[in-house]
């Protein structure tokens, strides 16, 4: 039975979806911040747009289904807002943010790029030489790809792709056969670059591909006059809701759902400004979109008029195209973790002591080396690993396949239901199976979201297990741009628990007496509430108490209520919540002792750190889970303790205080659900936590280098031009005395 009773009112909670929009608003603030390098600002605009796409495809789609379906029950969120009310408020706030986004692009970033020599032109404004160059590009590259599609009774409206960019045209026949007036569409090919150089060798002046195609519409529809045209983009419901039923083949079931994605309902229509009303009516009618802003019952408008180029996610392409280091953040150089710069045998190092990695400040190389060395080590008997998301051409997947080919017993827990990575994970699952890896797909009703790997090694007459646990995925790509923490350990109790967890995942084996790992859905919710309540009880007894939690999201009602009760008892609580937070801090008599803050910066804050208590009994955990219902109840998650004193000090005396003292990228959550940016007080030094952590990692590495410079054998730093470039093309270098040199893509 749950230990925390519902004792708080809906007004004491922030709506989950509105809270997420405020997170994306903080992302947009980074695009607006003129202190950020110009191309980084453009990148944040792309991130904002990409985030919003996913929000509509998943969260808005789910609410829409509830609001407009008589078949589905209405979920009652903790804040009391029903589905239609949420949709209306979300649409209102989204329109404000999108307007803000395009003001940032049109009024700030475009003029600043022009000052830097990077300009955007309309095709009609180009000189004859530039027109000639573009004409050649169009005829040789673009025209063969295009498919002009008329829409009439003989040619029904095509099924427009999710997030595809289209030109819609109204045509009037001037010669030849065909209807006197018709509609037509042309898809802007996603296989071609969106930002087209006005001349072949020009990397500074661009036209939009859709503008180029629009200028050639008369050629595409010969015999017709172009009366009017506009661009549009549809967002569709893209969430895979697997039915909770047994399937003969989960792989085939998900593959089938992926194919069905392109046939799902539209949830948003973006149109260029001043689109012809007849064209708009055709799209709204064909896609059965809601476009009624007056009716109280159906007062929800899914059409968004855009004051600029549609699909700002294409700015990723622009950022990668322009080679201007002066417009980017300084290059990221992840450092070798403390104590691992000079090693011959990683397993010997782990056997001697626990090792903490803090990415991206610490290199991801030791994690790759852990799996790759195990694949080739004749002493290794078995490798077991979970894979939730991994990179393209993954070195982890290659190493697991190599291990199986080398005769080792290899088990991979591949989560096929990792949202929007399903197709990628299916590909790797097939590849691993062909190599001889025992691939397990977890459970129908639970996502395997925990991140752990275990290597079983024969050492003389004994078998020793080495474990890596992490807050983030086994993905060298995201390890360059996400902050995560990983722990290497050979602790027997941890290894026993890891073995039991793998046995649960592969064979439903249960009833293990967990010693150190806290696992969802078994015990994580209960233990989290227990740890919070213990601090509340200490405060009531007049003892020292404290709670610190660094999370991506805080949604779970019972956990929020437990935190409210701990605050009422006098527990000082600091919550660093990057994204969604449904807790209202600073409510008189309820949450006066709770401070909630968020850091949005160059790297995505993804690590979860939990601290309970003060003094010698202080408990420190890392976790793969956020405090959300799905993490507690519908996922396999792991919370694991950090016990080595040196590692505890690293977290408690370095990493956490740096985050707590940020006065450059920190935003404080107010009781009304808004956020206020923190600025240095008068006379106070400016501190940007991610920059400070980069400096800390560099200082630590320099100290190690100074201590053993004559015999340094490991240079596992990533030599990259930028953390925002293409991490899959990064090459890591690691020199080992007894294992040669490995090069990774």
- Confidence bin at 433 (pLDDT 50/70/90): confident
Asked whether the beta carbons of 291 and 277 are under 8 A apart, the reply is no
10 Å Cβ neighbour count for 248? 6
For the cut 70, the answer to whether the pLDDT of residue 160 exceeds it is yes
For the cut 80, the answer to whether the pLDDT of residue 436 exceeds it is yes
pLDDT of residue 223: 84
Q: Percent of the chain at pLDDT above 90?
A: 68
Q: Tell me the mean pLDDT in the region 708-727.
A: 34
Span 688-709, pLDDT tens digits: 999 999 998 888 766 555 555 4
Span 461-472, pLDDT tens digits: 999 999 999 999
Span 279-334, pLDDT tens digits: 999 899 888 898 865 543 456 899 999 999 999 999 999 999 998 999 999 988 88
For the cut 80, the answer to whether the pLDDT of residue 75 exceeds it is no
Q: Which residues does residue 549 pair with via DSSP β-bridges, in sequence order? A: 575, 610
Read out DSSP for 422-458?
A: HHHHHHHHHHHHHHT-EEE---SS-EE--EEEEEEEE
For the cut 50, the answer to whether the pLDDT of residue 745 exceeds it is no
Q: Tell me the mean pLDDT in the region 403-423.
A: 77
Q: Which residues does residue 234 pair with via DSSP β-bridges, in sequence order? A: 269
Query: Residue 302 is encoded by which pair of tokens?
Result: 């899914």
pLDDT of residue 203: 74
Burial category of 324 from C-beta neighbours within 10 Å (exposed 0-12, middle 13-18, buried 19 and up): middle
Residue with tokens 């002792």: 593
Q: Do strands 619-623 and 635-641 pair parallel, antiparallel, or not at all (unpaired)?
A: antiparallel
Q: Tell me the mean pLDDT in the region 220-241.
A: 86
With b for 16 or more beta-carbon neighbours within 10 A and e for fewer, the 619-640 pattern comes to ebbbbbbbbbebbbebbbbbbb
* Residue 337 to residue 355: CA distance in whole angstroms: 8
Q: Do strands 224-236 and 205-208 pair parallel, antiparallel, or not at all (unpaired)?
A: unpaired
Query: Residue 650 is encoded by which pair of tokens?
Result: 């690293």
Residue with tokens 């109280």: 296
Q: Percent of the chain at pLDDT above 70?
A: 84
Asked whether the beta carbons of 91 and 291 are under 8 A apart, the reply is no
Q: Tell me the mean pLDDT in the region 659-686.
A: 96
* Residue 482 to residue 448: CA distance in whole angstroms: 20
Mean pLDDT over the full length of the chain: 86
744 contacts: CB under 8 Å, gap ≥ 6: 368, 395, 476, 730, 731, 732
What is the pTM for the complete model shown?
0.88
**What are the structural domains, with CATH classification, of the chain?**
33-327 (3.30.1840.10), 346-516 (3.30.870.10), 518-712 (3.30.870.10)
Q: Do strands 303-306 and 266-272 pair parallel, antiparallel, or not at all (unpaired)?
A: parallel
pLDDT of residue 463: 96
* Residue 484 to residue 359: CA distance in whole angstroms: 5
pLDDT of residue 297: 44
* Residue 703 to residue 338: CA distance in whole angstroms: 9
Does the annotation mark 449 as catalytic? yes
Q: Of 12, 290, 358, 449, which one is the catalytic site residue? A: 449
Q: Which residues does residue 385 pair with via DSSP β-bridges, in sequence order? A: 412, 453
pLDDT of residue 240: 52
Span 355-367, pLDDT tens digits: 999 999 999 999 9
Residue 138 DSSP label: I
pLDDT of residue 714: 30
Span 238-266, pLDDT tens digits: 865 433 333 345 445 445 554 544 457 89
Q: Tell me the mean pLDDT in the region 507-516.
A: 86
10 Å Cβ neighbour count for 91? 20
Q: Give the helix, strand, coil percentages of the chain, each rounded to 5.
A: 40, 25, 40
pLDDT of residue 448: 87
Q: Is 290 helix (H, G, I), strand (E, B) or coil?
A: coil
Span 38-58, pLDDT tens digits: 999 999 999 999 999 999 998
Span 598-642, pLDDT tens digits: 999 999 999 999 999 998 889 999 999 999 999 999 999 999 999
pLDDT of residue 378: 96
pLDDT of residue 390: 65
* Residue 384 to residue 654: CA distance in whole angstroms: 33
549 closest CA partner among 522, 523, 570, 529:
529
């Amino acid at each position: 039975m749950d230990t925390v009773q519902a004792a708080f009112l809906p007004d004491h909670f922030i709506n989950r979806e509105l809270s997420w929009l405020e997170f994306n608003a903080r992302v947009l603030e980074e695009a607006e911040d003129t202190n950020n390098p110009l191309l980084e600002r453009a990148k944040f605009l792309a991130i904002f747009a990409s985030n919003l796409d996913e929000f509509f495809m998943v969260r808005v789609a789910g609410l829409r289904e509830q609001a407009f379906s008589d078949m589905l029950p209405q979920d009652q969120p903790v804040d009391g807002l029903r589905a239609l009310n949420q949709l209306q408020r979300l649409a209102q706030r989204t329109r404000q943010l999108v307007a803000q986004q395009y003001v940032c692009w049109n009024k700030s970033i475009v003029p600043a790029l022009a000052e830097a020599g990077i300009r955007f032109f309309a095709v009609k404004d180009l000189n004859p030489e530039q027109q000639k160059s573009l004409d050649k590009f169009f005829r040789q590259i673009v025209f063969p790809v295009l498919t002009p599609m008329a829409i009439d009774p003989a040619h029904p409206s095509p099924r427009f792709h999710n997030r595809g960019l289209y030109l819609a045209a109204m045509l009037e026949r001037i010669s030849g056969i065909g209807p006197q007036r018709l509609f037509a569409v042309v898809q802007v090919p996603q296989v071609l670059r969106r930002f087209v150089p006005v001349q072949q060798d020009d990397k500074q002046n661009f036209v939009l591909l859709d503008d180029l195609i629009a200028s050639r519409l008369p050629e595409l529809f010969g015999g017709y006059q172009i009366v009017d045209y506009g661009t549009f983009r549809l967002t569709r419901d893209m969430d895979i809701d697997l039915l909770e039923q047994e399937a003969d083949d989960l792989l085939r079931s998900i593959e089938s759902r992926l194919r069905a994605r392109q046939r799902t309902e539209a949830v948003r229509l973006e149109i260029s400004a001043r689109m012809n009303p007849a064209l708009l009516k055709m799209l709204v009618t064909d896609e059965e979109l809601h476009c009624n802003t007056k009716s109280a019952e159906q007062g929800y408008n899914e059409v968004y008029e855009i004051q600029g180029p549609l699909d700002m996610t294409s700015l990723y392409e622009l950022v990668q195209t322009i080679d201007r280091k002066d417009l980017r953040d300084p290059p990221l150089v992840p450092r070798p973790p403390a104590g691992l710069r000079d090693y011959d045998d990683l397993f010997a190092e782990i056997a001697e002591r626990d090792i903490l990695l803090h990415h991206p400040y610490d290199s991801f190389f030791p994690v790759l080396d852990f799996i790759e060395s195990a694949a080739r080590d004749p002493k290794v008997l078995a490798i077991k690993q979970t894979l939730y998301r991994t990179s393209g051409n993954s070195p982890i997947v290659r190493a697991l396949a190599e291990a199986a080919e080398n005769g080792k017993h290899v088990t991979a827990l591949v989560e096929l239901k990792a949202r929007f990575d399903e197709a990628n994970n299916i590909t790797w699952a097939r590849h691993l199976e062909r190599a001889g890896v025992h691939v397990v797909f977890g459970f129908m009703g639970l996502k395997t979201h925990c991140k752990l790997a275990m290597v079983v090694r024969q050492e003389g007459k004994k078998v020793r297990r080495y474990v890596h646990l992490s807050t983030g995925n086994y993905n060298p790509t995201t390890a360059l741009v996400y902050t995560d923490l990983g722990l290497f350990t050979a602790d027997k109790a941890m290894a026993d628990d890891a073995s039991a967890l793998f046995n649960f995942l592969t064979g439903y084996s249960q009833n293990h007496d967990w010693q150190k790992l806290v696992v969802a859905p078994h015990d994580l919710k209960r233990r989290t509430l227990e740890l919070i309540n213990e601090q509340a009880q200490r405060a009531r007894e007049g003892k020292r108490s404290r709670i610190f939690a660094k999370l991506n999201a805080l949604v779970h009602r019972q956990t929020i209520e437990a935190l409210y009760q701990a605050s009422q008892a006098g527990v000082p609580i600091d919550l660093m919540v990057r994204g969604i937070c449904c807790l209202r801090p600073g409510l008189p008599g309820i949450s006066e002792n709770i401070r909630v803050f968020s850091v949005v910066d160059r790297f995505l804050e993804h690590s979860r750190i939990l601290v309970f208590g003060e003094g010698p009994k202080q408990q420190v955990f890392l976790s793969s889970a956020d405090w959300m219902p799905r993490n507690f109840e519908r996922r396999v998650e792991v919370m694991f303790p950090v016990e080595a004193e040196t590692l505890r000090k690293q977290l408690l005396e370095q990493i956490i205080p740096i985050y707590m003292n940020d006065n450059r990228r920190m935003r404080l959550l107010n009781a009304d659900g808004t956020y206020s940016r923190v600025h240095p007080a008068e006379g106070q030094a400016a501190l940007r936590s991610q920059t400070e952590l980069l400096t800390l990692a560099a200082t630590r590495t320099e100290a190690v280098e100074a201590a053993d410079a004559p015999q340094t054998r490991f240079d596992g730093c990533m030599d990259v031009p930028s953390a925002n470039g293409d991490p899959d093309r990064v090459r890591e270098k690691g020199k080992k005395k007894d294992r040669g040199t490995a090069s990774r893509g």
